[in-house]
Structure 1
């Protein structure tokens, strides 16, 4: 009797309960991961556009310097 849980058997998780909880956690994890990936993609695209702008500016300055010489 010492090995029985201190609560009633209705409070013990069943295999079905564990499977449902696992499915819920996986669903939440996937949603969080997809959200994080969308944010990362957006930030990388912004950084890419910034780099393109900087490179275009540098190319323009280089052309101006070369034409001035």
Structure 2
């Protein structure tokens, strides 16, 4: 499947944080990222996986909520 371009603007501090990970270590090392794109691809894949594993929280009330009539002056 061909890759698609996703562009975004980030705070300069975020770019600095990403750049701190880029180019550290050697190819083949865990968490080695040659480019910002490599880092962002891995970060997005990890986020998607975490979101898939996260179970939604459904809250149930002890008793049903009764509708409230609007105020007379409203």
TM over 0.5: no
TM-score for the superposition, normalised by structure 2: 0.30
TM-score for both structures, normalised by structure 1:
0.31
Which structure carries more helix by proportion? 1
- Whichever of the two has the greater Rg, that structure is 1
